[in-house]
Structure 1
Amino acid sequence: MTTATPGVLIVGRSPLVLETTLALLSERGYDAHATSDFGDITGQFDAAELDVVVLGGQVPPDRKAEMREALRAVNPRLAVVQGLAGIPGLLVDQVEATVAGETAVPGQAPVYDAEQRAIELVLFAPLEVEVTVYWITELVPPNPKSASAILVQGALRAGEHRVRVPDAVALDAAFATVVAGAASWSFRLTPPAG
């Protein structure tokens, strides 16, 4: 990543998701851009000025591959990330984790227990931790509606921790971001099997 203001490009279909994500990134100091035009991406944006590109789920797979290749031909250090869902806060979390570039401590990554609806985290030292869940409330193309909740925010002691995902969170399209110190993970939450 550059030492200056990180350049970010969000590529997706939903105007509302793009606008909201762009505003959130700009508020956090990123040089943020967004497009729903899947055409000549290097003609639209200077890849040399970008640090992170997030590709949304509505970008066709063949176009994603072409975009990655074209952008990295100009900027080999560019991080290209697959967006997990059209949820602005989640996309911002993915960008921030990529820009931070923190290597996660082995064995410290959170684990989601679907049967217990719980996120389990083992900390080897006391750390500031934030656990946020995001979920789609209405899948209305092209602008899905979503909600979020911060489940934990503050210092946690070393050891094992279990964070229960509230029943109000619909698990058919739900995700979590766990930030522990400078490390960050975003992942999908799933309903219990069967």
Structure 2
Amino acid sequence: MNQPKRILIVGRSPSVLVETVGILRGKGYATDATNQFDRVLDDYDVTGVDILVFGGMVPLDTKQYLREEISRRNPHAIVVQGLAGIAGLIVAQVEGVTSVDRKNDSEVSYDAARRSIHLTLNEPAQVAVQAWWATSLTPPEPRSTSMRVLDSGFAEGSHTIPLPSRIPMRASYVTVAVDATVHAFTVGAMPTSVTRMVPTSGRSADGLSGGGGLPPVAEVNTGVHGR
């Protein structure tokens, strides 16, 4: 696994940002996070960023501007859209673009109609399936839980893994690790009551103030203030 030089997370929820940074740093990644949307390009040298992660509550125009500007300054940066404000899920998404086992090009897919994971393994592999879902979607601090669906060795060939009925049909996700390669899938979409809170414009929102009906939040800017 070739770990990147730096990961920058741009999101809104203080607890999610801090927890995600802690987990990724514990895994050896150089990681920072900020909810100061209007200061990203001033506070961070984006030419050294390998992976840029966006949270779901970043205003749409801000996200587009940062994506374009960072790509212009650093064409090699990989942009990841976080599926939900769940620290472990964000970590898995990062691992999905960094922890690639090039010896194993097995196919992994999610069948929404059957609520099952389908694997086509070209060689025996260790497979770990983890489910994640929101238990509270109230901003600014969403809550979540997770469960290990399985962690077992699988033989070469095709396999179907049904998901437990306990996993809800909204704001739910599953990650599948085949040896060192990680895949992330949406099981239940985020409800519209949450997605319509996303501000379309960041002109009056620096990340801390409310926008789209969002409450204000505490500042997180690990690269500047260490928190």
- Please say whether Structure 1 and Structure 2 have the same fold, judged by a TM-score greater than 0.5: yes
Deviation per CA, 1:125-163: give whole Å up to 9, x if none.
111111111000111211111111111213211122222
Runs of 4+ in structure 1 off by over 6 angstroms are none
> Displacement, 1:41?
1.5
Partner of 2:170, secondary structure, is helix
How far 1:111 sits from its partner (Å)?
2.2
Offset at residue 4 of structure 1 (A): 6.5
Question: Are 1:124 and 1:159, in contact at CA under 8 Å, matched by a contact in 2?
Answer: yes
Q: Which structure dedicates a bigger proportion of its chain to strand?
A: 1
Return the alpha-carbon distance in structure 1 between the equivalents of residues 5 and 94 of structure 2.
10
Cα offset, 1:180, TM superposition: 1.1
TM-align CA RMSD: 2.1
CA contact (8 A) 1:12 1:35 kept: yes
Matching of residue 94 in structure 1 with residue 103 in structure 2: no
Which residue is 1:124 aligned to? Answer: 122
Alpha carbons of structure 1 residues 93 and 4: separation in structure 2 relative to 1, 3 Å: closer
Contact map agreement 1:11 1:34 (CA 8 A) in 2: yes
Residue 25 (1) aligns with residue 24 (2): yes
Distance 1:135 1:83 in 2: 13
Q: Which runs of 5+ in 2 are unaligned?
A: 190-227
Aligned residues: 188
Classify 1:6/1:130 alpha carbon distance in 2 versus 1 (closer, same or farther; 3 Å). Answer: farther
Q: Which has the higher contact order (CA 8 A, sep 6+)?
A: 2
Measure how far apart 1:93 and its partner are: 0.6
Q: Which moved more, 1:8-17 or 1:92-101?
A: 92-101
Structure 1, unaligned stretches of length 5 or more?
none
State whether residues 168 and 188 of structure 2, in contact with CA within 8 Å, keep that contact through their aligned partners in structure 1: no
Q: Out of 153, 156, 170, which is 2:154 matched to?
A: 156
Partner of 2:56: 57
- Partner SS, residue 38 of structure 2: coil
Identity, in percent, stands at 36
Answer yes or no: is the 8 Å Cα contact 2:3–2:29 preserved in 1: no
> Alpha-carbon deviations, 1:49-70, whole Å to 9, x = none?
2110100110111111110122
The 5-angstrom pairing of residues 68-147 of structure 1 reads 68-101=67-100, 105=105, 108-114=107-113, 116-147=114-145
Give the deviation of 1:101 after TM superposition. Answer: 4.8
Match of 1:133, SS? Answer: strand
| TM norm structure 1 | 0.88
Pick from 168, 175, 183: which aligns with 1:170?
A: 168
State the TM-score, normalizing by the size of structure 2.
0.76
